[in-house]
């Protein structure tokens, strides 16, 4: 992940935005299918999002997402997966 966390700000904003879009798709039309996640599975995806978010300097962190929102995605995605199994 170091390659991604040391890239340009523009690249990191774009990647984080894409990863958030993956979460939204997973929870909606993706029907909880992990193969659509950039990280390959929920844990890797969320971990990568957190690491990427934390790579921004405090004064340049994206305003459209934060650690709380990323954690909320994690909870919702895990709940969606557990509902598929039940």
| pLDDT tens by residue, 41-65 | 999 999 999 999 999 999 999 999 9
Q: Which two tokens stand for residue 58?
A: 């405090």
pLDDT at 35 over 80: yes
- Higher pLDDT: 3 or 7? It is 7
CA pair distance 43, 78, nearest whole angstrom: 9
Q: What local confidence, expressed as pLDDT, does residue 5 receive?
A: 82
Query: CA angle, corner 60, sides to 56 and 61, nearest 5?
Result: 60
pLDDT: is 25 or 7 the higher one? 25
Q: What is the pTM for the complete model shown?
A: 0.91
Domain ranges, ordered by start, for the chain: 2-85
pLDDT score, position 86: 55
Burial classification of residue 49, based on how many CB atoms lie within 10 Å of its CB (0-12 exposed, 13-18 middle, 19 or more buried)? buried
């Amino acid at each position: 992940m170091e390659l991604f966390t040391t890239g340009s700000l523009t690249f990191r904003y774009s990647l984080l935005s894409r990863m958030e879009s993956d979460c939204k798709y997973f929870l909606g039309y993706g029907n909880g299918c992990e193969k659509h996640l950039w990280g390959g599975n929920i844990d890797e995806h969320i971990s990568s999002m957190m690491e990427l978010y934390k790579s921004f300097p405090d004064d340049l962190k994206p305003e459209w997402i934060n650690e709380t929102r990323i954690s909320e995605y994690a909870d919702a995605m895990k709940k969606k997966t557990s509902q598929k199994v039940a």
